[in-house]
Every structure is written in C-alpha cells, then in structure tokens.
Amino acid sequence: KVNPRDHDTLAPPENLAPVPVYKPFSCAIEPTANYGVIQKLFEERILVIDGAMGTSIQKYKLDEPDFRGERYANHTHPLKGNNDILVITRPDVISEIHSKFLECGADFIETNTFSGTSIAQADYELQAEEEVYLINQKAAEIAKECCAKFTAKDPSKPRFVCGAIGPTNRTLSVSPSVENPAFRNVTFDEVVAAYTVQIDSLLAGGVDVLLVETIFDTLNAKAALYAIEQYFAEKGIRLPVFVSGTIVDNSGRTLSGQTNEAFWNSVQHAKPLAIGLNCALGASDMIGYIENLSKCCDCYVFAYPNAGLPNCMGGYDQTGKEMKEEVRPFVERGLVNMLGGCCGTWYDHIEEIADLVKDFKPRKIPVIEQKMRLSGLEPLNYTPDEKNMRKTFLNVGERCNVAGSMMYKKAIVDGNYEKALSIALKQVQQGADVLDINMDDGLIDGVSAMTKFVNLLISEPDVSRVPFMIDSSKFHVVEAGLKCAQGKCIVNSISLKEGEEAFKHHARICKYHGASVVVMAFDEEGQAATFEDKVRICQRAYRILVEEVGFSGHDVIFDPNILTVGTGLAEHNNYAVDFIRATREIKRVCPDCKISGGVSNIAFSFRGNEAVRRAFHSAFLHHACNAGMDMGIVNAAQVKADAYDKIDKELLGYVEDVLLNRCDNATERMLEFAETLEPKCKPTAVVRKGGAPAFTPSPKVNPRDHDTLAPPENLAPVPVYKPFSCAIEPTANYGVIQKLFEERILVIDGAMGTSIQKYKLDEPDFRGERYANHTHPLKGNNDILVITRPDVISEIHSKFLECGADFIETNTFSGTSIAQADYELQAEEEVYLINQKAAEIAKECCAKFTAKDPSKPRFVCGAIGPTNRTLSVSPSVENPAFRNVTFDEVVAAYTVQIDSLLAGGVDVLLVETIFDTLNAKAALYAIEQYFAEKGIRLPVFVSGTIVDNSGRTLSGQTNEAFWNSVQHAKPLAIGLNCALGASDMIGYIENLSKCCDCYVFAYPNAGLPNCMGGYDQTGKEMKEEVRPFVERGLVNMLGGCCGTWYDHIEEIADLVKDFKPRKIPVIEQKMRLSGLEPLNYTPDEKNMRKTFLNVGERCNVAGSMMYKKAIVDGNYEKALSIALKQVQQGADVLDINMDDGLIDGVSAMTKFVNLLISEPDVSRVPFMIDSSKFHVVEAGLKCAQGKCIVNSISLKEGEEAFKHHARICKYHGASVVVMAFDEEGQAATFEDKVRICQRAYRILVEEVGFSGHDVIFDPNILTVGTGLAEHNNYAVDFIRATREIKRVCPDCKISGGVSNIAFSFRGNEAVRRAFHSAFLHHACNAGMDMGIVNAAQVKADAYDKIDKELLGYVEDVLLNRCDNATERMLEFAATLEPKCKPTAVVKKGSGSSVSEKKASGASWRDEEVESRMSYALVKGIDEFIVRDTEECRVSGKFAKPLNIIEGPLMSGMNTVGDLFGAGKMFLPQVIKSARVMKKAVAHLIPFMEEEKRLAALENPDEVQNESHAGLMVLATVKGDVHDIGKNIVAVVLGCNNFKVIDLGVMVPYDKILDAAEEHKADIIGLSGLITPSLDEMVTVAKKMEERKMNVPLLIGGATTSKMHTAVKLTPQYSGPVIYVLDASRSVPVCQSLMDKENRDDFVQDIKDQYTELREEFYTNLEDRKYLTLEEARKKACVLDFSLPENTPFTPNFIGTKVIDDFEFDDILQAIDWNPFFQTWQLRGRYPNRGYPKIFNDETVGEEAKKLFDDAQKMLAEFKEKECLKMVAIVGIYPANSVGDDIVVYKDETRAEVTHTFYTLRQQAEKDNDDPYMALSDFIAPASSDVKDYLGMFACSSGFGLEAVIEERRAAHDDYGIIMAEALADRLAEAIAEVLHQRVRKDLWGYASDESLSLNDLLKVKYDGIRPAPGYPSQPDHTEKLAMWDIMSAEASTNIKLTESLAMLPAASVSGLYFGGKNSQYFSVGKICKDQLTDYAVRKKMDIKECERWLSHSLNYEP
C-alpha cells in the first residue's frame, strides 16, 4: 500500500454547526368563515350527513317529462335517469328531499350533482359547459336555500351544503379494453378540466364543503384533488374538503385495487378535513375498513354505508331501525366523527342515525407517527431502523430504466411492452420495494412511453402493489407518469439547476400530485462532488421546500450524487467517502429527510467483473446505510443476496481500500486482485481462475443434546367428549319405519308413469276445470293429474298397495317450479297445490289400507325428482362452465316442494332418480335447512341412478363416490332406481350394500327398453331377475321403476316374504371424500408418509403466479390445464383458492369449479374449497357434487360465527379444515396450537355434530430460518402439536401449507425442497395426514434420497438443534447451484453432484458382454453392437446365433418394451434401440442362413420354425403415400418381438391379403393419412370378409378414428377390427390379440364398445339438425365488396410461376417444430407444451432436446450435401364467385371461364347468428362487377428423399429413416409458409408492408388463408385435379397425384390462396343429401362417385 491512511476516513467533521431552525410553512390561502365552524362541530359531536338522493328520487316515480321540463322539452336524447338535471326541471322535488333530510337531523346535505361533470353528462348529450355549470350552480343554490331555512329556525344547529363531486363514469386506472390494458378512454387532464368546471359552478352556488365521493378509482380522486388545489391557489380561498372512498367488496379494496390505507396515503397530501367510506357495502361489512382508517388517519373520519346489501331485485330491505343497530358499533367503538347513509337509505334511516349519535362522543383524532408514507395498491409506510439502516433500506428496482437495462430499453424501443412488464414483475418478485421507471433516451418518445408503460403496470397488480419512482430529467415526462399513477409516488428528480423559481414550480406540481420528491445535489453552478457542496446544496433546497412550498421533511429525499470511484483519477478517489459523510450531515441538518442514490454508479469502473462490482455495491450500502442512507436504485435480487457479512473477506479488503480511499494505490491493487477471479463468480462465493471455493461451516453454537420433537412428559388424559345431541325430534313414524326395516324386506311401489300410460289420457284429462284455459299444452304433465284426475292417481296408489307395497310414492316426480316451468306452471301457488294434493291423495290411500290391516302399516314417500336441469353438467358444449340454473334456485324450488309435501302429510322424503349428485345435495341441503327450521325430522331415502354399465351417474360419479357425497345427510336408506334392469343393477347394489351404514334398496326397471321404448319383462320374469338381491342379502327394500306395474310389485312382494332383510354391516369409520371417484382415507399409522394425501397447491392464486394470471386474464382453459397437470402429477385432492383483490372471488370460484367438474380427469379427485371469505367458500361448495374439504374456518370471529360456518359446511357434507386461530390471533406455540384446536374440536363434535374424521386441523406451518430467534422453534412446535392434537382430538386429521416452512429459502431450489421433504418426514411421523404441496416435487424428493450433507444442515434448522443453525444453513446454501435438486446437489463451480460417489474407473464397457448388449439396446448406443454381437457368437455360451437373439438381445428389447409401456422411455429412444437391434441381427443373419442351409442338407423334411411374439403384415393403403406413422409402428412392434412384414405405401388390397395368407399373418395393419384412404380401408375389410378371413385388422393414421372404425369398417368384416390411436397403443393391442387365454374376451369387449359407438353415431345423426341447402344459402356470409376493407387487391402478376430458388436457411427459420415432436409422440405437459418450452419438461424435455439436436445434425447434412430438392409452383388468376362456385377466367378480360372450383356450404344448424359459410363467399360475385382473384400453389421438399432413406435402410437405421421423413414433412410445410408470405408481400402484393414474426405466422395473424382440398373448409380431394390442370403442376414440378389424389412425393403441400381480409378458416362439417345432389350436378359427377369421395362428410348413409 502506498501512503496508507491511519485515520477513519468516514469520521464526521469536528465542531459541527448546530442544526438550523426552519420557519414553519405559512399558506397564503385563507380558509372560508365556515371552515372553523365545521371544524369546531367535529370536535363537539358526531355529525350527520344525509341519505341517498337516488333512492329518494325513485320514490317519486318520475317519468321522461319530469326530466325534460321546459328547458329540455325538445332535447334529442332520452333524459329519464339523469337525476342531476332535476335541479332544473323539478327543483321542487330536490328541495323537498333536502328539507326532509334536514328535518330528520342531517347536519350536511349533498348537492344533487353526483354526475355533474361534462364527462358523465355526455351520456345524455348535455356535456356543454353552459349546461354543466347550470346544473351544479342550481343544485348548490337549492341546497343552500334549504340549509339557510333550517339554520334560521335553529341557529344553534347550523346546516351545511356539501358540493358532491362524483367519480365520473370513466376510470383513469382501469382500461375499458380487455385486449389493451394500457388503454384509457379519458385522460387525467380531461378529468381535471371537467372537475374544475364543476368546482367553480358549485362554489358559485354557495357550497360550504367540497365532497369528493364514491371513489372506486383513486386516480380519479387525485384528479379531483389536483383540480381543487389548483382552484384554491388561483382563487385564494380554501373550503373544507371531504374525501370518501368506496371499498367494492370484502376484499377491502377499491375497484382499482387499493387497500384503504393505501388510498389514504394517496390522498393525504390534500389534507382533507375528513375522510371516509361510502356505498357498495352495508355497515357490518364496512366497519373493519372504517376501523383501519380511524387508526391511520390524522383527520376526521366518517361513514355513510348502504342500507345493508341489495336484495335479488336490486332494492334494499334494511329499515331505519335495523340500520341504526348495524351502525351502532361505529359510535360505540369511537370510530367516527360523522355518519350518514348511501344507497337504499331514506328519511327514516337518517332520523334513526341522528337519534343514535346524540348519545355518543365523537372520535378523537389520534396522534399518528409522522413518516414517509408511499403507496401502490398497498401502503409502504417507511420506518427506518436507526440502529440498522441496512435492514430497513428500501430497494428501488433499477431494471425499468432505459439507462440501466439494455433488455428493457430494447423492449421499449421495439414496442414490446409485455416484455418490459415482465422485467418489472421480476424486480418486484425479487424484492424491489419501489419500482424506478425511466424513459430518457433519444429514440423514445418519453411522454408516450411513460404514459403507456405506467398504465400497463397499473393493470398488473403484482407489480403495482409497490409504489413507483417516476424518473426523468425532463419534467414534462415526470408529469406524464404522475398522471397515470393512483398511488403515492416518488418523483426522481427535481433540482436547483434551473434556479429557484423553476425548482419551486416543479415542487408545487409534485405536491399537487401528492408525490415525494428526490432532489439532486445540483444547482446553478453544477453537480455537487465534494462533501461541502453536497451539504450546501441540499440544505438550501430543503429550506425552500419546507418553508416556501410546504413539504413535510419526510417527503424530501436527497440524492447527493453517487459518483464512480476506481477510475484511476486521483480526484475521484474520495467520491464514496464524500457521499457517505454528506449523507450523515445532510440528515443531521435537514430533519426527517431521506437519502437515496443510484448505487450501480459507484462501480462503473469494474463492469465485467461480477464479484468485484457487486462487492462494491454491498460494501458501499453497508457504510452508506450506517451513515443514514434510506433507499437506492439497485438490483434488488443482488443486493439481497450479497449481504455485507457474506462477502468474501479477502475481496472485501481490496474493495474497501478503494471505497474508503485507504491508500493511494488502492485502485491498482484492486485491479491486480480482480485479475485472479473468474469474472462471472459471485462476491459471496469467489472462484479463483482455475478452481472452486472450499467450504468450511461455522461451528455449532449451543447444540441440543435432546430430542427436540419428544412429546411433553406427564401428558394429560385424553378428554371425554359429550356425544352430539340433535335438538330436532324425529316424527312418530320414524321409529316405526326403522323397526320394520329390521324385521323384513319392505316393498315400494312400481312406476307411476307406466301406470298412467295405461289410462291413455288426453289433453282434456290434464286440463280439467282448473287449467281449462291455460295457455300451454299440458298433456304429459303427469303431476297435475292429482288436481285434474285425482281418481286415476288414487286408483293407481290403491292397486299398488293391494299388490303388497309398504310404501307408495307421491305423484310429484316433476313437482318443482323448475320442472313445472316447462308447462308455464312455475307459480308457487301451483307447485304447492300439486305437491299438497299429491300427498293428501297418497296419504288417504295408505290410511285406508292401514285401517284394514294395522299389522301392516303403509307409508307415503314424498317423491322429490331430479328436476330437468343439472347443476353439474353444462347445457352448452361450447361453454362447459355455464349452468342454466343455480344451486340456490334449486334449493329454493325443493324447499317449496318439501313444505307442501309435509303439508299434505307424507311420512318419508324420497330424493330419487339422482343422475346428478349436486342436485341431490341441493335437495338434502333444503331438507336439512327445513328440518332445522321446523324442528322435526322425517326419514329420508336417497335413490341414485346409474345411467349405463360404466357404473356411474350421468354427472360421472361412481356409486361409492355418490354415497360419500350424500352420507352426511344420514339417510335412513339409500338405493338405486331407473336406467337399468335388475341384472345390470345388481353389481352396483352389492357395492352400496358393502359400503353403506344405512338400509339399502333397489327399484330397477322392468329390464331394458325395447326398440319402441317400451318394456317387455313380465312380473314373473322380473321376480326371478331380482331374486339374487334377496338371496344374497343385499337389500332391505325392493320395488320397481320404469315399465313396472301391478303384477311386478305383486311378484316382488311374494318373493321377499321368504327372505330376511340385509343386516347393516359395521363400516369402518374414516374420512370419506369424493370427486367422481371415492377417496376413503385410511392412514397407515406405521408409515404416515406413505398414505399422506397430496393437496395440489397450484390452483391457488397465492401459490402460483401463472394460475393467478390465468384467472385475472379470464383464461380459464389455462387454469384448467394447471389443475389437470397437478392431478396427473399425483395430487390426491385439489386446492382451489381465488383470494385476491383483483378477482371477484364468488364469480371466479363458481366459474372455475363448474369448469373443473366438466373435466373428468380433474374432477375425479375431491376438491379443497379454499378461501378466507366464507361466502366464496359457499360459492365453491354450491358447484361441487363430490364431498369436498373446506379450507378454512376458525374461531377468529368468535364461537357463534364458527358454529354458523361449520353448520353450513355440514349441510353441504364437507369436511372442514380448522385453522389454529382464535379471537386472540394465530397460534404460534405448541401450547396455543393444542389449546385452540381442542376447543374447536369440542364445539364441532359436541355442538355441531361433526364426526372427528371430518375435522382437519391446520395448526399453522410457520416459516423457520428467518433470522429471528423467536421463529426457530416453529417447525418443532408444529410437529409436536400434531402428535398431541391427534391424541386429544380422536380421529381428527392434520393438514397445512407445506411451502410456508421454507419461505426464507426461496430462490434456492435444493434447500427449499429439502426442507419440504424433511418437514414432511417428521410431521408425518408425528401424524400429519395431508398438506398443500407441489405433488410432483414431494414425490420426487423422497426423504431417503435427499443429499445427506444438505439434510444435516436442513434438520439443524428444522428441529432447532443449535442456535446458529440458520446461519450455518445459509453458509452452506451459498455453496450450491440454486437450481439443482435436493436429491442431486451440485456445488457452485464444481459441475458435479455433492453426493455422487467417485467413479470407480469402471464403465458399462467393462461389464459382461450380455450386459453390455442389453445396456446398448436400452441406451440406443450402436457404436459397439456388432463387435459385442460377434464376441457373443464366438464366446461358446450360445449354441446358435438364434439363441443370441432370443437371449441377450430380446432381454434388452423386453426391457425397452417395458420401459416404453410404462412411459419411462420415449419413441425416439425406442427407435434408436431398434436401430441397435437391427444392426446386431443383420450381423447374425448370414450365420443363421448358413446354419439353415446346413440343417436343410442334413434333414430336408424338417421345418425351420421362427420364434417371435406374432407376425403382422403392415401397409399404407392404395392411393396413399404417407408412411411415417406406419414405420414407427413397425419399429415399436419389432422392439416387442413381433415380426413385421412391411409392404410399404400405395399397396392395393389384393397384395395386402395375399401377403397375409402367404406369411400366415396373425394381424393385418392398415395405415392412411388422407380421407380417401378411409374408403380404401373399407374395401380391404370387405375383401377380407369375401375371403372368409378371420385375421384381426388394425386401423391407424391421422384421418382414422375409433368412431369411423366402428361405423364404417366393423359392419364390413366379421373378424376383429380395432382402431389404434398411435404406436404406443399398438403393442398392448397386439399382445392382447396374441394372448390365447384372454383374446376372445378382449375382442368381444372391443366389439361391444364399437356397437355402442355405432348406436351413438346414428342417434346423433338423427338428433343433429340441418338446414336445407336453400336455407343455408340464405344465411351465407355476405361481404360488401364495395367497402375499402373488402376491395380485392390487383395482383402484381397474373399466371403461373415455378420457384426453385429457396434459401435453405430461410426455410429452416419457418419450421413449425410442434408437429415434429408430435410425430415422435413427445408431448410436454403444461406449462411446457410446444417448442421450445418442451425442452424444460421434467418428463420428456431431455429426450426432446436430444431429438432436436439430432434433427439439426440431419438438416445440416441435407444442406451440406444438397440431398433434397425444394420446388414450388404458384398460380394467381382472375376469378369471381357464381353462387357456391368460383370461376377462373383465362385473362383480365374475364370473357372466358377456363376452370371452376366447386365449394361446399355448412348445413349443420347453429345456435347463434353466425353465417353458413362456403369458400366462394370470400370471392366477389360476378354480379358485383368487382374484379377478384384466386391463387393456388403446390410445393415439395421430397425430391431426393428416397435416396436418403435407402442409404439409412442399408445401414439398418430406422431412426434415421423416420427422422428424414419427419424433417422432409416439416420442410414442405415450411416452404408453404415462406411461399405464402412471398405471395402476400410480393407476387400478389396485398400485404407488402407485412412484418410478422415466425410465431405470428404460425398463429395465422396475417390477412388471407390457404385452405387445401381434403381439409375441413373443402373436404373434397377431387378439387386438386382442377388445380393441377390449371397450373400444369405435374409437368412444371413433377409433383404427381395418386389415384386417391395423394401427392407424390409425400413431403408435399398444396392449397388455394384467398387474399381477402375477411376470409377465414372454417369446417364445412356434415352435408345433407340435397347438397350432395346439387354438388354432383354442378361438378357433372356421378352421384355415387361423389358420395364415395365425400363419404366421411355425409350426414346420411349412402
């Protein structure tokens, strides 16, 4: 060191001057006389403001003339509803309303000017300033006059007018466009101007106060306050200002997303006299938010809530007296200074409030600590820790500054604001407390960019939750940013550079906006560099700001200029020292100010050396914060990571020598040391060039020598809980019926509908007298026969009773308002009458029969049918989340039915024919509520309906899942009815019989219906079919449903008397949940981790940013894919949470759960409905048919609320998660967790009646490793509490949010996941049952696989095993690569796993030869296979070469097959394995042939048998040239020991069948890509039948389907015909066909499936409606070609052009890689679907990348060797449409038509107004005289491909063959893409200025389309013939058409070009016979031939 310093360079100067005294700010604006009067009144009493003007006006029932008056009599726009103009047209009404409110006790009345701005009045075309001024002035004058009268009457109670300034009908913070979140339909300046006019006119009318009210967007309020402040300054007066916000719902936020404290921070600069809340909420919902305002505001506080919540009609029912009680807590708790009313409040409400407040004292304004208060959506109240300023340092994110981030700058310059937004989001996620935004660059329009970006940021709540620093050296750009930000911002910066006047002007504008200001240490003489200049300039600026402008010191932030050190210039050496010393001094002499700066400036000299640069930042912050620095513009993530005490000590020494100027050559020494470091290493883990750092952990401090998880000693005994006693009394018959069930098998009646049919009733029978004149037909409404033909119903009941029925059902199956609405009989009076009468008739019949024989009492079941609407199934295919009825509507309908049935005297309630369990749950909910309300309980029977042999209800549940969903209602009996006959039903009844702990019944149909829908089974036949039910003891009751009549019931009654009833089994009590399937949780007490239930965490808006964004964006499909991925990855239960301020929780929960229900792969698991808002929980429960878990309820709001919530959950049948939270707060300690949970348990089991199994406790998993000692035992406390809670709360379960435990270690994947694994291990050992987890990760991170060194550090923290466990963990974590896995730890700089064992030096090549061969096969390594095969052959171990194939080679291939079948190997790997196998076999073949030759010589008569799993003949059918899929199937089957005879492509049927017979094929496989191949496959099937073959026929290929196979192929061939989806499915199908034992069952099962599919197909054909061709043409897409946007563009050339000069690299750039990966059956799972994200996929990513790399190598080879020739032809011709045809002209004279293209039109009926399209619609009609054009093309990349394939085939390289074919296909499609772009931009030229990315091209974002014949828009392949003819395509390019019109080479693409902007892709769908006939005539084609080509598009069978 040269000249080292021996003093503290940072020491303050000696003899400091005293702190200056600053004059207080004196405002020159005088308050009005009433200001002080009002202020004094606020101190004396609680004041009253009036009620709702709108509500009051409604009472007058005014009409249009009232609103028009004289002034607006002839106004052009309707005015009714424009309440504000009534001050002009009906001033009497407004005056009367004001007077009434004053009479009722109001101190303040509001002017009738809520919409009194030009912006709002524009809706009525009254925006002229004259009109707006008049409205406001008149309103003020009327109110003022009223107040004057009342004040004159009683001068001791003066009355005042508040000038009401509403929010306008436009928002400055919310875009009206979903597509463009940065768009605003009004500007800040426009809003300010509108408010200024309103303020001026209100003051002209004499208002006393300005009330800015109903603020749902804070930026609108800030605009109003800006206008007010400017107006006061201009006029020199100041009125009191009140500001009233609006919290829109129980999220506690405004519509624009702010919390109410953030709202206060945003408006406090205006120093309102009072602040409050109004509207949206009733008093009980508002009180919490008022309490918050009351605590944080240093002004008066008021509230004027609504009269409760609106009723279903939008009105308000709360009376004045009720409201008085609801607002009482506001005054009792001293929260307010003023009260009033908003929506729904009238005179009585205000009178009651005025009466209430007189007995209470007003709120005292609290002493609020002065501090810097900023805000985004949330408040940032900065409280510096003077002892540790680094701890409270505010990180200002630097990356949204064009000077600080090249990536950000590029995004802004490119207009890529989404990218810029992602940069902002990342900063906030990484810890930025404030976000700096700067646009200062010559290439950027600063105002426009600042406006757009801040508007965009506001739309992203995860960014805008933090305050913004609006940063620019141009003040007009600063202003642009301030005008977009609703929060309280920081302005960066203003300075004295332009003198004091400019400085003050800028400062005042900032103050009007409410911003804090950064002041640069810069004056007229320049930038301050020295300590003295920094202090001088800052002190001068401070004096001006606090004394002259009126800033609080807390809002003044100085930037004393952080200048660069280490430059080599001596004069710069003290820059850091000067800044740090100045910081201390400025804060001393400028009280309360803050210090900031751009930290990265300090180390500009060391850019490029990451460790040095970041160490400078860390060290500088350490010293500057010690001196008092408050905030800085930093890289938030880095400064958090680079804690000062973690910086490498050697590096730090060099850095601080420079920073603190400790010697003259500090910079040189720093540079020398920097040269020894790896430039990209981190300052906390320095890596010397050529080496990695060593890690030595700190020694443990105070290590524990005891088991921290041990249970307490002397445990108290397990408490005894009282059994639940239900207060509801059962009816007298309850016990009688129960006793009968025990004694014998009971009988329920038969089918009422079947019985009624026998009477052949007609319309008059259904009408009777009551409905004689009813407007709707009533025949078929059987329920009303109880009114119109009671004799019939009575007779049917009596007959069934006579036949032996114990129970009869009321004739009320459709007795709800919902079902009766079909007949317009939904009125409650009608529904009530139907049910009551039905019950009375049935009761009368039963009474008669019971009286006849009292020993056999008879009972009435009140039949409650399912309604005709389903709560779990959408009626709209397009919108699966839609429901046409709500749960509440169904409950209401059932409630009326239940009430009327009981009024009629039913004995039992029977909820029956349940095909949707959610409907049943709604009925049971209504029943339970009714029982609770009436205090009685009837027996309840529940009967489900299994709709088919899938064993599921219509809504998808299995019957055990159904039981789990309804068992909470404790039905006396459960059973099944309808849909099935007895023989089909018995298995499901047996299942119910085993799992249900109640009585079980069945009433099946009389067999299955015949073809006419009737039932043929007789009573005797049914008796025999139900006999097994009683013989096997499965039921307690039997009866009949559809088709059963008196004889059926008589026979059943005769049968059952000889058998004993089923005994209710003892069912193990456990937690039973359900989705579509049951989840019966049986914990393994010895290994709880094994049975742990994974609750998927990713559908929680707090747990997944991706999910939250999807919900906020309304992208529910994306959200659904996230849910699906979790279930696929192992989630047992799915957590669903929507708790976010930007989300309407009820709406989002409803929509998403409905959507999930529609996806069986998700809804098969139970849901956890998760919300802190119970109404959102209810919304979720109302959509879920399964038995859910509710997460959560707690004692937080006291016992009554807890019990209320618990009872609702119980009504819904849900299990409940109970948070360990009570009135005192969250339980953190062991003792509190146990105490609260035990208290909750006692309430739930003793008072609410929960089973312990349905109680799940969440004892709060809290974060460890935070650095706070009090948190160290959190995990231990949870684990110990788990054990104890389960001990003292029998049968309960334990759950928790596992990710909470390791929040401290976010960012370090290995550590975080290791914590989760270790925590689960110990918590499960203690008894934890379930948890919200990342299911995939917790499965992967098994405890015993966690790196042992890492686990030691983790468990030290987790189990609190020493005092410095966290510090030691952090030290070790710093040595790890942050993205490595806990099971494969990688140290920084090492590149290898920490835990991996050192290689022994041996490799797989050192294994035995058999093992090497197996390894090579599995890994696809062909390098050594020939050598190893030969070694094997000569080794002497194998007698024959065949033994090698059957031995090690097949062993290896069997492993490959097993791995592929299990999804652990992927297709590319399998094909590589096949390549290895083929090479080995090829080597052995000559030896085997020689062996055969010698064997034949020795034994000529001996037949040589081959050994294989089976033989398949495989071919692509005639006319089709595509064979990639076929080749893949051949390889995959070969890998599984099948012999495949591959006949190639374009193979005629006779060749296929001859080969099959020649080779004695076990299976024939057909492949095809184009639609004509489907017909050829039908031909093959027919010919196989003619030959009487029985060989199984397998069908596959892109156009094939299971339905086509079932409908078209199976009827043609009596042998097995099986559709195979892809190569992976071919193996199990072929293996099943070769399995002699099970083959017949497999084939029969397939045949049964296909029979059902055929029936479904023909049924759908009948059901689907079609328009006639004539009707469809009337609804065609009609474009106006005279409009500019539709005018056709004249092409740059007409005719034909051959193109063969494609640049290979251009084509490569246009490749769409997604179909490539699909060809290889590699599919990433969301979010890693598609290229290139597939490389990130955990399952297939690695293999996809290998495959892609191989593809790149082959493409490079193609390019280098010019293997493939690429050629294309384009034609563009004059054309017009004529009807549905397109005619092509010879030339532009359009005199001669050369060709016609025939198009097809959609005919399938649509349920909207969309047109019925044909391609001809997009071409101008000839009759329009508009000249239009049609283009077409053909292109190929397949010339030369055969040579490539042959070369690969010779090398036995199947992998290479398939790769070449797949790439040629991709290249052909890419040529088509490039060609189309060239056509648009050049050849045709209609989009010459198009500039689209590849992504946009692939998403078809360009104008125009290129449909191809044979595809959905034109499914007729024969249209290609015209294309080929007009272009002379074959002659010009050699691209040929086969007889099936496939293209040769196969890697070819063709299509038509349409250039119109309105042209679009569509699907023709099915067409009718009329169109086919018309089309054939137009084409002059034989109808049969036409039908053949279009067979797949016909809606009929030709």
Check if 1520 is active-site.
Answer: yes
Check if 1573 is active-site.
Answer: yes
- For every residue of 722-759, DSSP letters joined together read PPP---SEEPHHHHHHHHHHHHS-EEB---HHHHHHTT
| Cα–Cα dist 338/335, whole Å | 9
996 Cβ contact list (under 8 Å, min separation 6): 963, 967, 974, 1067
Count of all residues that appear for the chain in the document: 1998
| Cα–Cα dist 293/335, whole Å | 9
Query: What SS3 class is residue 825?
Result: coil
Query: What SS3 class is residue 1566?
Result: strand
Q: Report the b/e string of 1641-1669 with b at 16+ CB within 10 A.
A: ebbeebbeebeebbeeeeeeeeeeebbeb
| Cα–Cα dist 1298/1332, whole Å | 6
Please, what sign has the CA dihedral across residues 264, 265, 268, 270?
A: negative
CB 967 within 8 A of CB 936: no
Which one is catalytic: 56, 1573, 1777, 1837?
Answer: 1573
Residue listed under structure tokens 């749902």: 216
| Cα–Cα dist 98/145, whole Å | 10
| Cα–Cα dist 872/1157, whole Å | 7
Residue 1612 main-chain phi, psi, to 5 deg: -90, -15
E strands, 1743-1792, in order: 1765-1778, 1781-1785
For residue 164, the cross-strand partners are 211
Tokens of 856: 């056999």
Burial class (CB in 10 A: 0-12, 13-18, 19+), 1609: buried
Angstrom CA distances, 1192 to 70, 225, 1258, stand at: 60, 42, 9
Measured at the CA of 754, the angle between CA 752 and CA 760, to 5 degrees, comes to 110
| Cα–Cα dist 1616/1591, whole Å | 7
1891 Cβ contact list (under 8 Å, min separation 6): none
Which one is catalytic: 98, 1048, 1205, 1522?
Answer: 1522
CB 1567 within 8 A of CB 1526: yes
| Cα–Cα dist 1682/614, whole Å | 65
CB 1588 within 8 A of CB 1553: no
* Residue 13 burial (CB count, 10 A): 12
Residue listed under structure tokens 């306008």: 168
Which one is catalytic: 1520, 1562, 1737, 1781?
Answer: 1520
* Residue 1756 burial (CB count, 10 A): 12
Calculate helix-pair angle for 887-903, 917-934, nearest 10 degrees.
Answer: 50
Query: What SS3 class is residue 526?
Result: strand
Query: What SS3 class is residue 1378?
Result: coil
CB 196 within 8 A of CB 226: no
Check if 1559 is active-site.
Answer: no
- Closest of 335, 278, 333 to residue 307, by C-alpha: 278
Type of residue found at 1792: E
807 Cβ contact list (under 8 Å, min separation 6): 746, 747, 748, 749, 858, 859, 860, 861, 908, 1037, 1039
> What are the catalytic residues?
1520, 1522, 1573
